[in-house]
Amino acid sequence: MTQLEAAKQGIITEEMHQVAEDEHIDAEKIREGVEAGHIVIPANKNHRSLHAYGIGEGLRTKMNVNLGVSKDCHDYSVEQEKARLAWRMKAEAIMDLSCYGKTAGFRHWLIENSPAAIGTVPMYDVDGALGKALKDMTADDLFQVVEQHAKDGVDFMTIHAGINREVAGHVMRNKRITNLVSRGGSILFAWMMIKGKENPFYEQYDRLLDICRTYDVTISLGDACRSGCGHDSTDAIQIAELITLGELVVRARKAGVQVMVEGPGHMPLNDIRMNVEVAKKLCHGAPLYVLGPIVTDVAPGYDHITAAIGGTLSAACGADFLCYVTPAEHLRLPDIQDVHEGIVASKIACHAADIVKKVPGAAQWDEEMSWARRRVDFKRMIPLAIDPEKAKAYRESSQPQEEQTCTMCGPKCPMKTLDSILNNRNTDEDPYLK
């Protein structure tokens, strides 16, 4: 029985109890959200090390960390180091986007060790797993890889089922600057063009649902047609695919399979609210997983910032799950420092949005930091920081003469000044106020 099937039968699963405890929400509310399809709990039956997290309406905004090897960078020890960093920084999900060679060993290691949910894009693994060129791949080949990932214990899979032949026609007729920037989507588009056939994941969607139901894999309906630059945002191609995804959401829920929907990539800031609202409307309130959005195309090296800006607004408007972006986006495979910076930027975006959404405990965290600042209590401030190690390093790198100040204000610290004045302390004790 899947999480969705259990919820429909009025059963509160162990995973639902875990989510309720983490979120400080009644477990029955979690069950109701799962039943409605507005919350998903990616939890493959074969992922034994998992700490279950909920994604969706009324919950904390969650974050995904991408990692994995490529043809040019395929040192799995580096990717393991990135995964350990993600776990230490409490990322709720990790996607293995490895697209070169035999990936199974690393995937098995992740699933065996990860408390975070593990996601994959099976299309990335088809050539490495089967040793076939794209023109030689059959529909059965594609489903074979999907089923293997499910058996291995993958909690959620990005499946680009929405780019069918009808949507592909929109791609041909509506010219873009960047065409399709989704790696998985572009591979399926090419397969359809080479073969002259329908997308197998759309044509045999019930077959996909059977696999996912067997292992309780959450489908993340991929946005093959997301915009790859601001110019292409919110066009006919993107909307046509989104309509199809909404239809697939309904079919997945009827089959007892949890489903979320992936959102747009690049777009101007003023397009974000509309896109979130349209996606939620057309996809029947399914949890929305956004890739960015990246709000300007001219900041390579700083795209963790452009994505955090877009991610904050999209989550504040109702998106539920942010995919982190690193400073290396568009330039190279990220290194460990890039991953660290991407995680911090995304965590800031998630938390800033949670304050807007009035998620339980979000504002309280900020208030605790505010009281520590009022008391000029650095020993309390640093552990409360999103990145305590960096906060500590900055504090220790420039020490003031007086411990309860910093080298920005020194004795002119406004917190100390107002504390003395408002509490009627003897100003003669403070050299600055004499």
173 marked as part of a ligand binding site: no
124 marked as part of a ligand binding site: yes
CB 222 within 8 A of CB 160: yes
Q: How many residues does the chain have?
A: 434
Q: Which two tokens stand for residue 212?
A: 């996912």
40's enclosing H/E stretch is strand 39-40
27-36 and 14-23 helices, crossing angle to 10°: 110
Q: Is the dihedral of CA 402, 407, 411, 416 positive or negative?
A: negative
CB 251 within 8 A of CB 285: no
Side-chain half-sphere CA neighbours of 331 within 13 A: 16
160 marked as part of a ligand binding site: yes
304 marked as part of a ligand binding site: no
Residue carrying structure tokens 């190690």? 389
Of 375, 379, 319, 310, nearest to 348 by C-alpha is 310
76 marked as part of a ligand binding site: no
317 marked as part of a ligand binding site: no
Find the DSSP H helices in 9-103: 14-23, 27-36, 76-88
108 marked as part of a ligand binding site: no
73 marked as part of a ligand binding site: no
- CB proximity list for 267: less than 8 A, separation 6 or greater: 227, 230, 233, 234, 275, 293, 294, 295, 310
The Cα 82–Cα 67 span in angstroms is 7
The Cα 264–Cα 226 span in angstroms is 5
The Cα 4–Cα 212 span in angstroms is 12
398 marked as part of a ligand binding site: no
328 marked as part of a ligand binding site: no
428 marked as part of a ligand binding site: no
223 marked as part of a ligand binding site: yes
DSSP track, 234-284: T-HHHHHHHHHHHHHHHHHHHTT--EEEE--SB--GGGHHHHHHHHHHHTT
Per-residue DSSP letter, 376: T
72 marked as part of a ligand binding site: no
226 marked as part of a ligand binding site: yes
- CB proximity list for 389: less than 8 A, separation 6 or greater: none
CB 129 within 8 A of CB 98: no
CB 159 within 8 A of CB 201: yes
Known binding residues for Zn(2+): 266, 330
Binding-site members are 66, 95, 124, 160, 182-184, 223-226, 262, 266, 289, 330, 406, 409, 413
List residues forming the annotated binding site for [4Fe-4S] cluster: 406, 409, 413
> Residues annotated in the binding site for substrate, as ranges?
66, 95, 124, 160, 182-184, 223-226, 262, 289
